[in-house]
Structure 1
């Protein structure tokens, strides 16, 4: 019984550590004033109404969602087949792929941004200030998470046995991959997509240095209005948090319904 109580206490303590800052941010975004008092002085939705009526915020939020969706679509089209080809046809390349996907962590984002500014500011491909440069940068961010997750998903199923059975039944390799392998790694793929999605929405360095206000994203907008009001910025943070939480909940429900 003591061990059970101890485990419950650890869980509740961990929940409190994670939940109290979120609750405090929520209360601050709903408060009229919160200065020297323990609790806020009055509650209001004015900050949220002001936020969601701001066309600049809506545009920045839409830009972030569009760039993240384009990056994840590109990543899925390139990384998932690549992971399958390496795992099924060239397993000896696995260790080299592991090195390749980790190379981006060797260079800080600020250093990468400076190099990209010099490379793509002029010349035959001047894409600095456009969303295309962010899609390319974000692809490198999503690459290690998606590739590792898909690779682990492939290792958890009997890929060669499933493919041999499909070939015996007359299915081609692309058809077997789409109809047999891909559904079996669906959970791994969804997990990598939503992890990458949260990371891409949270990027500031690449977006601020490579695009800035020319194609303003959510975090660049948040940085630019940070001095206006703490209540207003808290409303931005909570809106982003609740949106990410809702998307995750919907994805979890859809995954459970598919399993049934």
Structure 2
């Protein structure tokens, strides 16, 4: 009786967990499904379902030069930020863990400081700092790249720190030195390959996050270098079917990037 009672309790527990997961998936999926149907509908008024389905909104979107330009701007800024972050953060993380391991705590505190300042306050400060002077970067993509660098810094550094903590960096470097490798060669051929999966996952997740950033892009560059989310914001008063197609295109692209990051993290 005891074993049968435990089996009954376990089956009830599994059933409850399945119900919770099913309800959560329904709550998350209904808005996405509704947006998808609206982007595919010819007309959707007072009826429960759309009157007809069409791909005309997506066809118009793909032939909209302003959308293509905004999407290209978002890709350009995101890729430039990730390249800059990789070139600066990867060597910095290695130097911290190999030469100055006690600085790791200070780095963790430093990279978290940005979360203490709201994005609106940071944007106003950056505008005042770079509006005039020898580097008038306000309104240019360069100020956006620098700002995005501070956003992705915590994600990339923590991914690298977790990878470096899981390996004996000093022992690996000493072994490479004994075999005649220089510090640079040892880093490139021994340390970096062990960080590849974590780094790629962090880069892809940061990429999907940057594509959805709106506050900094709208305040720092706005329409002077229109990104995808700024374009979506300016098009909010046009056809809801068209804007739904924009949202679903962005969602599908972000979903693919996130799936790639998840596969790499495994």
Q: How does 1:10-89 map to 2 (within 5 A)?
A: 10-89=20-99
Q: Return the match for 1:104 from 95, 114, 127.
A: 114
Between stretches 169-178 and 48-57, larger displacement belongs to 169-178
Q: Which whole-Å CA distance do the structure 1 matches of 2:170 and 2:84 have between them?
A: 26
Partner in structure 1 of residue 8 of structure 2: none
Q: Which whole-Å CA distance do the structure 2 matches of 1:18 and 1:80 have between them?
A: 36
Q: Which whole-Å CA distance do the structure 2 matches of 1:15 and 1:164 have between them?
A: 50
Partner in structure 1 of residue 250 of structure 2: 240
Deviations 1:183-220 (A, max 9, x none): 11222112211221122111111111111111110011
Measured after TM superposition, the shift of residue 90 of structure 1 is: 0.6
Contact kept in structure 1, 2:40 and 2:55, CA below 8 Å: yes
Is 1:200 aligned to residue 219 of structure 2?
no
Q: Which whole-Å CA distance do the structure 2 matches of 1:165 and 1:11 have between them?
A: 49
Deviations 1:113-168 (A, max 9, x none): 11111111111001111110000000000111111111111112222222222122
Measured after TM superposition, the shift of residue 97 of structure 1 is: 0.6
What is the TM-score when the length of structure 2 is the normalising length?
0.91
Q: Which whole-Å CA distance do the structure 2 matches of 1:187 and 1:13 have between them?
A: 33
Between stretches 51-60 and 102-111, larger displacement belongs to 102-111
Q: 1:8 to 1:157 in 2, by over 3 A?
A: farther
Q: Which whole-Å CA distance do the structure 1 matches of 2:149 and 2:91 have between them?
A: 15
Q: How many aligned positions are there?
A: 256
Q: Which structure 2 segments of 5+ residues have no match?
A: 1-10
Q: 1:70 to 1:236 in 2, by over 3 A?
A: same
Q: How does 1:180-195 map to 2 (within 5 A)?
A: 180-195=190-205
Q: Which whole-Å CA distance do the structure 2 matches of 1:212 and 1:241 have between them?
A: 22
Q: How does 1:144-159 map to 2 (within 5 A)?
A: 144-159=154-169
Q: Which whole-Å CA distance do the structure 1 matches of 2:150 and 2:184 have between them?
A: 26
Measured after TM superposition, the shift of residue 23 of structure 1 is: 1.4
What is the TM-score when the length of structure 1 is the normalising length?
0.93
Bigger Cα Rg: 2
Q: Which structure 1 segments of 5+ residues have no match?
A: none
Instruction: Please tell me the root mean square deviation across aligned C-alpha atoms, in Å.
Output: 1.7
